[in-house]
């Protein structure tokens, strides 16, 4: 049985997330997804919109996902890899890890894991920030429309 591990924030689920997980699942028999904690998201990206437990539950409910777990706070990022024992780790197209360096670091720790960079899905709303921008744009246009109607 081939176990695939995917990781990510998954804040405001969108087609880019689904595509990443569907493509990851195709590489093996079991897909385990590590959802970043709120603390990690704050350190690396932004203030999460959706709380970690909610994000984890949503990811767990997706068809390609066999199991979703919360990541670990601080410390060694490889500990969860040791616990989950994946055969393959998939990286999203925009995740800031170097595939070869990650494989070398895993090997140094006695973990024989293949790392695969997944392709980008080119879609209008394939990113959380794109969705947020679209919502702001929509709200701004509606507010201007209401102001015009009041005159």
132, part of any domain: no
* pLDDT reading at 4 higher than 90: yes
Least confident of 20-24, 54-58, 123-127: 123-127
How confident is the model at residue 140, as a pLDDT?
81
Tell me how far apart the terminal alpha carbons of the chain are, to the nearest angstrom. 67
Q: What's the whole-number average pLDDT of the chain?
A: 88
Number of structural domains found in the chain: 1
144 within domain boundaries: no
Residue 27: domain span:
3-123
Specify the 3-state DSSP secondary structure of 7. Answer: strand
Question: Are residues 19 and 40 in contact, defined by beta-carbon separation less than 8 angstroms?
Answer: no
What percentage of residues in the chain have a pLDDT greater than 90? 57
Position 39 in a domain: yes
Distance CA 57, CA 9 (A): 12
Question: Is 32 inside any structural domain?
Answer: yes
Q: List, for residues 56-89, the tens digit of each pLDDT value.
A: 999 999 999 999 999 998 778 899 999 999 999 9
- Amino acid 97: pLDDT: 87
- CATH classification at residue 72: 3.40.50.620
pLDDT band at 128 (very low <50, low <70, confident <90, very high): low
50: left (phi over 0), alpha (psi -120 to 50) or beta: beta
On whether residue 88 sits in a domain, the answer given is: yes
Burial of residue 143 (CB within 10 Å: 0-12, 13-18, 19+) is exposed
pTM value is 0.83
Buried b (16+ CB within 10 A) or exposed e, 118-139: beebeeeebbbeebeeeeeeee
Opening angle at CA 18, ends 13 and 20, nearest 5: 120
Residue 130 clears pLDDT 90, i.e. is over it: no
89-120: pLDDT as tens digits: 999 888 888 889 999 999 999 999 999 999 88
Query: Is the residue at 131 inside a domain?
Result: no
Q: Does the residue 133 lie in any domain?
A: no
Q: Is residue 22 part of a domain?
A: yes
36-45, 49-58, 115-124: least confident range: 115-124
């Amino acid at each position: 049985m081939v176990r695939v591990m995917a990781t990510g924030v998954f804040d405001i689920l969108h087609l880019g997330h689904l595509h990443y997980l569907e493509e990851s699942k195709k590489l093996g028999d079991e897909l385990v997804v590590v959802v970043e904690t709120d603390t990690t998201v704050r350190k690396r990206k932004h203030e999460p919109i959706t709380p970690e437990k909610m994000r984890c539950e949503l990811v767990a409910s997706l068809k390609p996902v066999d199991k979703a777990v919360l990541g670990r706070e601080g410390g060694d990022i490889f500990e969860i890899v040791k616990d989950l024992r994946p055969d393959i780790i998939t990286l999203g197209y925009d995740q800031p890890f170097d595939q070869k360096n990650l494989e070398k670091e895993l090997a140094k720790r006695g973990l024989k894991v293949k790392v695969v960079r997944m392709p980008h899905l080119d879609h209008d709303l394939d990113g959380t920030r794109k969705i947020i921008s679209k919502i702001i744009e929509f709200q701004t246009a509606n507010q201007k429309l209401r102001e015009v109607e009041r005159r």
